[in-house]
Structure 1
């Protein structure tokens, strides 16, 4: 029997496999989302008009600025000290490695809230902080009650705690660089410090940036804990206002909107940094988002028949 060959110009229809459960799941999600949105929008107890008024209030704006300042300063402390600890944990000296390990063990093993309260009450242990050589007259003598303010306690607790986690992130990034890179640099006569600064760290940034961005977003929300020592961050300002007006729900909604907005801004910055440090490592998708949306929507329909070439 002769085989019938298709003409090169004959269209060959290609239809996707029927998956009705996809449509069912999509319909359920849409219905649930619509019901939830309707319930939130129509429930008068949310007091959306009051919430939006507080979103643009000066008090919450100042609290959000304080939260952002705490996040930036604590992350700078955490990243700088975390890099130092990560390098110490790769040192050839046993005592240096163990000291870094002990630091990480302690600060990862105790809750952040406990550390904040501990630093805030440091004056109970050391009323006077003296700097100098033991056995001689101290060079500087400071009153702990004056130095350890609520803001200082918050910065110390959050910054030092973050350093323990950043050291693990940086160490993972350093270990991701192939040892051959270091050996090649050493063969050229480069010092260990220069190898770390010019070769290892730039390549490790691809591994370090994503979890560091995640830690930054986490730090933004962790700063809410400083309200226990009366630092005027976003949550503390919110609590102060609703303790007077008794409008708890609208104020919590307003604070949540501020947190979500700041988190979104930080997420965009993280994506930009990841894109910058990933250049050359893998292909970057430059397809416009409008074209990606059209492709996604087209998957619900049968594709247009194509002619064989």
Structure 2
């Protein structure tokens, strides 16, 4: 008899018993484990945001609602920070259990997700500056070709586009009202809870007209999580029937007559509005427009960087000592700060600075101007170092030979030194140009809708992440590959043995 047979049988039986025990324990844990709720706290008032008095704690009416659901369900709910743009994709991947962040009930979302019964009835509200007298309605503003801001992929955006506006789109609630205050926008249209929190207390802003355009907020689940969704539906019904939901909304100043429909709600007819037909003929023109913005932004920003970079390099090489120190300080400063921070400061910080110091000049740049200025200042620092190293690589004897021919230093630089330096400068400069081409994707922070931002908007609204993502990637390749080919051709023509 094999002496190892009995110990192996015992180990096998023990493994089976342990597996069954772990499975049972895992099932029990699955029923009691904390539910992961995803929402974006960045500028998320009054939904969810960090308490100004206690920055380590989040508050908001959805935080209060999550705590009430936790008591009704008898299960802990843990909030996880998640970018609003990625909530639907993250939920479908299983990164969390449900999303609750002012998600509007739409046919596209109802088709892809399991939406709960509504927990809030929202309306839209137009906000203007307090001294605005040029128009009294959105129709009058449209006749004036006015500028309107709103959140991307919301009912407000769809409403404005149907009216014929091309609204400026933002990623959070605070920035549209800031732009409205300083005159970059003529009006802002967003959900009433946002307007109540941000616009109503601001003496520089006022509501224009009455709220309009009723819709619903719902909690989003995966289709396969029907059991959990049904439990949340019952909990929401209990909260509405007991009056606890009303007490939460009254605490935040959000209760109105529209919320009474929540108590007798039966079903939201999301099929009344047809889901959008996201065919290539619908989204390709928008992607092409975004690609055009990307190309224009790249070309103008690189031109600004070149025009700034070369003088800075020359000052560092040949300028008087104070100017050389200033050029070095410029390079170190702009290489040392993130371009995202620079864009945010130029777009939002400079207007506030001009107002506080009562400067006689306007520092209110348009989104595109702010993007060009930010990239130009940032990339000029890198270009200056490339030009400096290229010029310094030319042998000193070239200066001496030019002087022996009677050339001035300026003529020698223009005809002898710089043409030779171009051979060294060209490869890293073209690499920077291609890098800038891709870096333009961050300018959505200042409300520029370029190709990547257009992809995010379209993919989030259609849920066609793969199809629209593939089309976006093709457009980037169509634009960037010729740049690489052109760079190699120039290197072969002007380079040393390339």
Asked which structure has the greater RCO (Cα within 8 Å, sep 6+), the reply is 1
Displacement after TM superposition at 1:260 (Å): 1.9
Map of 2:353 onto structure 1:
125
Q: Deviations over 1:46-84 (max 9, x none)?
A: xxxx99937981111111111011111111111121111
- From 343, 349, 363, give the equivalent of 1:144: 363
Q: Does the alignment pair 1:250 with 2:467?
A: yes
Map of 1:159 onto structure 2:
376
Displacement after TM superposition at 1:198 (Å): 0.8
When the two structures are superposed, what TM-score results if normalisation uses the length of structure 2?
0.42
Residues 1:261 and 1:181: Cα distance change in structure 2 (over 3 Å) = same
Q: Larger strand proportion, structure 1 or 2?
A: 2
- Please state whether the residue corresponding to 1:144 is helix, strand or coil: coil
Map of 2:287 onto structure 1:
60
Map of 1:174 onto structure 2:
391
Displacement after TM superposition at 1:124 (Å): 1.1
Distance 2:355 2:455 in 1: 33
CA contact (8 A) 2:347 2:367 kept: yes
Distance 1:216 1:129 in 2: 37
Q: Larger helix proportion, structure 1 or 2?
A: 1
When the two structures are superposed, what TM-score results if normalisation uses the length of structure 1?
0.67
- From 410, 429, 432, give the equivalent of 1:212: 429
Q: Does the alignment pair 1:110 with 2:337?
A: yes
Distance 1:216 1:151 in 2: 18
Distance 1:152 1:173 in 2: 30
Q: Deviations over 1:143-191 (max 9, x none)?
A: 333xx11111100110110000001111111011100001111222222
Map of 1:41 onto structure 2:
none
Gaps of 5+ in 1: 1-49, 132-140, 285-309
CA contact (8 A) 2:283 2:458 kept: no
Moved over 4 A (4+): 128-131
Residues 1:159 and 1:52: Cα distance change in structure 2 (over 3 Å) = farther
Q: Does the alignment pair 1:195 with 2:423?
A: no
- Please state whether the residue corresponding to 1:143 is helix, strand or coil: coil
Aligned length: 221
